[in-house]
C-alpha cells in the first residue's frame, strides 16, 4: 500500500509503512497506550514487531504528525475458512503475537492492534489508521477485515449485565464504549462475542468480534494447487555462453508449457560455463566464474523468469563478497527480480577445492502460490534450519544439490524426506547429472530429482509425490496441494508440529537477517558474452 496523507479538521496525518528503526519508539508508545496491559506483559516485544515486519511488512503501518510517530497498527492475513465468525482467542489467531500463521493466500485481514499515543488522542489518528486498513484490504483484494474489539468499558458496567447485553446497549447508543463505539462509527459490524480473548481487566477478558466487508472484493478462483518442475540438468562440454543459455531456456520454456509455477535448477549447474574456457585450477576457475559470469548469469535467469512468467529457483552460483566467495541460490520472480539465499553449511570439498565460505541468512519468500524457502544441498542435512523455516510458515522447501555419487545423493534424499515428514512441508529436490572432465572438482555426478511429502493419508503412498529416473536428463513435473498440509497438521494420524515438546527443547536462532526485512532486487541488464 502506498503512503498517503489523511486530512482532518485538526491537521494532516501521514500514514506510512513501519520501518525497523521505528520499533523502540513503538514499544514505548504501546506501553503508554495500554498501561494496564503492560502490567500483564501483553504488549508488543521487539522480537514480535521484527517478526511482523519480516512476515507481512505491508500490514504494519504508522501514523505521523510533524514527523513524529503518534499511532500504529499491526495486521496479518489469515485463512479464516468456512466459518469466519468462529470463536478464537487473541493468542490463537496471532500465534502468540508473532504472526507466524500469517497466510498470504488467505482472504481476511485480521486487525491485531491499533494504538495511539495518549498525548495525541482526539486528533483523528485512529480514524486515519482504520482508513489505512481499509485501503490495504482493498488493494490486496481481501474479502473482509476482522478484529477482536476489547470491550474496554465493560468493567464499568453493572456486574449482572452480560457481555451480549452490554454490546447491544453500545450498538443502540445507550452506553458508550471507548473502543467499540469508535469501531461502529468506522463502519464495522458486530458478529459475536469472544470469551477469554485476551488478558485485560478493563474488558473482563471479553471482546466483540467485528467485521468490515470489502465492497470491492472480487472472488478469485480458489486454488491451493502448485505445479513444480524440477530440472535434472546434464552438464556437458559447451563452446559458448549461448550454448548454456539455450540449454537453460529449453527447460524453462518446457516448464512454462506445462504451466509450472516454480522451476528448480540444481546446485552449481552454472559451473558448466567453465568448460567454455581453457582448464584452470579449481580455485582459479571458481573465482573466474564468480567474477566474469555472475552478471550475465543473473541477466539470463532474470530474462527467462520475465519471458515465461515463472518463479525460477536458480540452482546455485558462486558470488563474491569482497574477499570471500559464497555459494548462493538466486530466486527470480516473474518480474525478473531476485533474492539470494546463501549456503550455510559448506562441505569439506567446497572448502578444499574452492575456498567457499558459509552464509548467515535464511530467506523466507512469500509468493501468491505458497511461502517458499531454499536450502542448498548439505544444508538440508541439518534439521535446525528446516525447523526454523517451517516455524516461519514455509510450505515448500526447495533443495538444489550437486553430488558426485549415489552415497551423496542418498544423503540429500533421505534428509530431505525427513525434513518433509518432521515439519509437515513439501520438499522439492533437483541434482546435476553428466560429466565435466575439463573442469576440476566437477568430474562426475549422480542425481535423481524428487518431490517429497509428509507421510500420511493426505499424501502419496510412500511420501514421494514424484521421482525421476536417476542419471537421465529430464524435467520432473508434478502438482502438490498446500491445503493438504494444513489438514494433515490439524488432524493427521500424527501431528508433529502440534506435539513438539517446547517445554524441553528450544530453538535459538542467531541469523544475520533476523532484524532486517529481505527484499527482491531489480535485475540489471547486461550484454551476454558469446
- Sign of the dihedral through C-alpha 194, 198, 199, 202: negative
Do 516 and 432 meet the contact criterion of CB atoms below 8 Å apart?
Answer: no
334 alpha carbon, distance to own chain's centre: 17
Query: Which of 391, 362, 136, 367 has its CA nearest to residue 262?
Result: 367
Q: State the residue for C-alpha cell 464495522.
A: 188
- Residue 385 and residue 378: Cα distance in Å, rounded? 11
Integer Cα distance of 425 and 306 in angstroms: 28
Q: Kindly state the greatest CA–CA separation across the chain.
A: 89
Rg (CA), the chain: 26
Instruction: Return the active site residues.
Output: 267, 343, 377
Which of 475, 459, 375, 472 shows the shortest CA–CA distance to 416? 375
Pairwise CA distance, residues 171 & 245, whole Å: 66
- List CB contacts of 52: < 8 A, sequence separation 6 or more: 18, 59, 60, 74, 76, 99
Give burial (CB, 10 Å; 0-12/13-18/19+) of 186: middle
Measured distance CA(137)–CA(142) in Å, rounded? 5
Residues 6+ apart with CB under 8 A from 100: 51, 55, 391, 392, 393
Q: Which of 148, 143, 132, 149 is nearest to 80 (CA)?
A: 143
Alpha-carbon span 122 to 120, nearest angstrom: 7
In angstroms, rounded to a whole number, what is the distance separating the alpha carbons of residues 179 and 208? 10
Check if the beta carbon of residue 205 is closer than 8 Å to that of residue 199: yes
Distance, in Å, from the CA atom of 231 to the CA atom of 266, rounded to the nearest integer, reads 7
As a whole number of angstroms, the distance between CA 54 and CA 98 comes to 10
Amino acid at each position: 500500500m502506498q503512503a498517503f496523507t489523511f486530512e482532518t479538521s485538526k491537521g494532516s496525518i501521514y500514514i506510512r509503512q513501519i520501518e525497523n528503526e521505528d520499533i523502540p519508539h513503538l514499544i514505548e508508545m504501546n506501553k503508554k497506550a495500554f498501561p494496564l496491559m503492560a502490567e500483564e506483559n501483553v504488549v508488543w516485544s521487539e522480537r514480535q514487531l521484527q517478526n511482523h515486519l519480516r512476515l507481512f511488512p505491508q500490514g504494519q503501518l504508522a501514523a505521523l504528525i510533524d514527523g513524529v510517530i503518534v499511532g500504529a497498527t499491526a495486521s496479518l492475513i489469515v485463512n479464516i475458512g468456512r466459518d469466519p465468525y468462529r470463536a478464537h482467542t487473541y493468542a490463537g489467531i496471532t500465534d502468540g503475537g508473532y504472526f507466524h500463521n500469517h497466510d498470504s493466500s488467505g482472504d481476511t485481514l485480521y486487525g491485531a492492534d491499533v494504538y495511539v499515543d495518549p498525548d495525541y488522542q482526539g486528533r483523528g489518528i485512529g480514524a486515519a489508521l482504520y482508513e489505512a486498513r481499509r485501503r490495504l484490504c482493498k488493494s490486496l483484494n481481501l474479502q473482509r477485515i476482522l478484529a477482536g474489539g476489547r470491550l474496554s468499558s465493560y468493567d464499568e458496567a453493572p456486574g449482572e449485565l452480560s457481555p451480549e447485553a452490554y454490546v447491544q446497549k453500545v450498538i443502540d447508543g445507550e452506553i458508550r464504549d471507548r473502543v467499540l463505539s469508535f469501531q461502529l462509527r468506522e463502519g464495522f459490524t458486530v458478529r459475536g462475542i469472544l470469551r477469554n480473548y485476551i488478558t485485560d481487566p478493563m474488558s473482563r477478558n471479553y471482546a466483540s468480534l467485528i467485521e468490515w466487508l470489502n465492497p470491492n472484493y472480487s472472488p478469485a478462483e480458489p486454488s491451493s494447487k502448485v505445479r513444480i518442475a524440477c530440472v535434472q540438468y546434464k552438464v556437458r562440454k559447451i563452446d559458448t555462453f549461448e550454448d548454456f543459455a539455450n540449454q537453460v531456456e529449453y527447460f524453462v520454456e518446457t516448464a512454462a508449457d506445462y504451466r509450472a509455477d516454480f522451476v528448480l535448477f540444481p546446485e552449481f549447474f552454472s559451473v558448466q560455463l567453465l568448460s567454455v574456457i581453457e582448464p584452470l585450477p579449481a580455485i582459479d576457475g571458481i573465482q573466474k566464474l564468480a567474477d566474469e559470469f555472475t552478471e550475465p548469469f543473473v541477466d539470463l535467469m532474470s530474462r527467462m523468469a520475465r519471458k515465461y512468467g515463472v518463479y525460477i529457483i536458480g540452482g546455485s552460483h558462486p558470488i563474491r563478497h569482497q574477499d570471500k566467495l559464497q555459494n548462493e541460490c538466486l530466486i527470480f520472480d516473474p518480474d525478473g527480480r531476485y533474492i539470494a539465499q546463501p549456503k550455510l553449511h559448506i562441505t569439506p570439498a567446497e572448502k578444499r577445492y574452492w575456498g567457499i565460505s558459509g552464509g548467515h541468512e535464511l530467506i523466507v519468500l512469500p509468493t501468491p502460490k505458497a511461502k517458499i524457502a531454499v536450502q542448498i544441498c548439505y544444508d538440508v542435512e541439518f534439521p535446525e534450519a528446516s525447523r526454523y523455516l517451517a516455524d516461519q510458515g514455509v510450505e515448500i522447501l526447495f533443495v538444489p544439490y550437486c553430488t558426485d555419487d549415489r552415497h551423496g545423493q542418498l544423503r540429500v534424499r533421505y534428509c530431505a524426506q525427513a525434513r518433509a515428514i518432521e515439519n509437515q512441508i513439501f520438499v522439492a529436490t533437483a541434482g546435476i547429472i553428466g560429466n565435466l572432465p575439463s573442469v576440476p572438482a566437477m568430474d562426475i555426478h549422480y542425481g535423481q530429482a524428487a518431490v517429497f511429502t509428509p507421510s500420511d493419508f493426505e499424501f502419496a503412498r510412500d511420501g514421494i509425490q514424484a521421482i525421476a529416473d536417476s542419471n537421465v536428463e529430464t524435467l520432473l513435473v508434478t502438482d502438490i496441494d498446500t491445503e493438504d498440509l494444513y489438514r494433515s497438521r490439524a488432524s493427521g494420524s500424527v501431528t508433529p508440529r502440534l506435539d513438539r515438546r517446547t517445554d524441553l527443547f528450544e530453538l535459538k536462532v542467531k541469523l544475520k537477517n533476523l532484524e532486517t526485512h529481505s527484499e527482491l532486487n531489480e535485475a540489471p541488464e547486461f550484454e551476454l558474452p558469446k
